[in-house]
Amino acid sequence: MRKARRRTQLNSIDEINMTPLIDLTFLLLIIFMITTPLLEYSIDVSTPQFTGKKLPEEKMFNISITKDGRYLYNETTVSLNQLNNELAALFAANPQAKIMVRGDHQRQYGEVIGLLKVAKNNGFKTINLVTQAEDK
């Protein structure tokens, strides 16, 4: 007569079912992919006023963008193309010249960065961004 074999619990688990683990991993991945970009754009950024070192007494060359979008080079209204030509001539005459960039706080960030790019593309190494002094 044959003996009935009893299977123990260890013998019955031959392999682990990976499907629930993979489902959980993909679910967590999707949640992080969706929530991470939302965290970046939900932060309200308000740039503070800043007081830095006093400006040096030496000759500085000013580039400004006004509230209404006009470009000024040393208090003279110029177009962006004229500004590029003026800075090229200035760099040819004085490569060590220091540029001061002033942007009205109501102008878009990209326009001020555009002024910085124009100065950098003409070869200037020292470009300063002017800010307003803090209220005490």
Residue 47 in any domain: the answer is no
For residue 111, CA distances in Å to 66, 67, 104, 124 come to: 11, 11, 10, 18
CA distance 63 to 115: 8
- For residue 67, name the pLDDT band (cuts at 50, 70, 90): confident
Residue 123 in any domain: the answer is yes
Residue 124 in any domain: the answer is yes
Q: Which domain holds residue 33?
A: 17-41
Residue 57 pLDDT: 56
Over the stretch 38-61, which tens digit does the pLDDT of each residue have?
Answer: 765 444 443 445 666 665 556 778
- For residue 71, name the pLDDT band (cuts at 50, 70, 90): confident
The CATH number for 79's domain is: 3.30.420.270
Residue 24 in any domain: the answer is yes
Residue 28 pLDDT: 94
Contact 108, 23 (CB under 8 A): no
State percent of the chain over pLDDT 90. 12
Same domain, 67 and 121: yes
Over the stretch 5-31, which tens digit does the pLDDT of each residue have?
Answer: 665 655 566 778 889 999 999 999 999
Q: What does pTM read for this prediction?
A: 0.54
Question: Stretch 81-106: mean pLDDT, rounded?
Answer: 86
Same domain, 67 and 105: yes
Residue 108 in any domain: the answer is yes
The bridge status of strand 76-78 relative to strand 71-73 is: antiparallel
Looking at the structure of the chain, the number of domains it has is 2
Structure tokens at 113: 């960065």
Averaged pLDDT score across all residues of the chain: 77
Residue 15 pLDDT: 77
Residue 96 in any domain: the answer is yes
Residue 112 in any domain: the answer is yes
Same domain, 37 and 64: no
State percent of the chain over pLDDT 70. 71
Residue 48 in any domain: the answer is no
- The residue that leads in pLDDT, 82 or 135, is 82
Residue 48 pLDDT: 42
